[in-house]
Amino acid sequence: MSELRIRAAEPGDLDAVLAFWRTAAEGTSISDDRDGVERLLARDPEALVLAESAGDLVGTVIAGFDGWRCHLYRLAVHPGHRRRGIGSALLAAAEERFVRLGGRRGDAMVLTRNETAHHAWRAAGYTPQEQWRRWVKPLA
């Protein structure tokens, strides 16, 4: 694989990111649209982190920090590029960002049924917290 480039997303990347998620991400989110990602970048321009190889988008992670907690979303690696360290590189960049911002602990949203992701998160040093349950309410 050619050299991996990790960088913050820019507004011109949004269509490619949305298309990438349809290929590489498990499941969909209510925020998987241009307006949602534009709001993310407007609020926190460095939150959406991209991995590129040979100019192609091969991975993403959203590393959101609200001043209190560090949240990880949309860690996705293109199926044809998995098991090459891309996810690890994205998580390292996210964690470095959190430390720089004063964060103390990262948490990740991981689908219960996504066993492949469970292995990747465990390998990265994350563990599930069985005492917590996610509660949601769509606002739109």
Q: What is the pLDDT of residues 17-53, one digit of tens each?
A: 999 999 998 777 777 899 999 999 999 999 999 999 9
Report the SS3 class of residue 76: strand
Mean pLDDT of 46-64: 97
- The half-sphere exposure of 46 on its side-chain side, counting CA atoms within 13 A, is 11
Cα gap 75→109, rounded to integer Å? 9
Local confidence band at 2 (pLDDT 50, 70, 90 cut-offs): low
Please tell me the predicted confidence (pLDDT) of residue 42. 96
The pTM score is: 0.91
Mean pLDDT of 51-68: 96
Please tell me the predicted confidence (pLDDT) of residue 95. 96
Buried b (16+ CB within 10 A) or exposed e, 26-46: eeeeeeeeeeebeebbeebee
Report the SS3 class of residue 69: coil
Q: With contact defined as beta carbons under 8 Å apart, do 20 and 57 qualify?
A: yes
Mean pLDDT of 58-83: 95
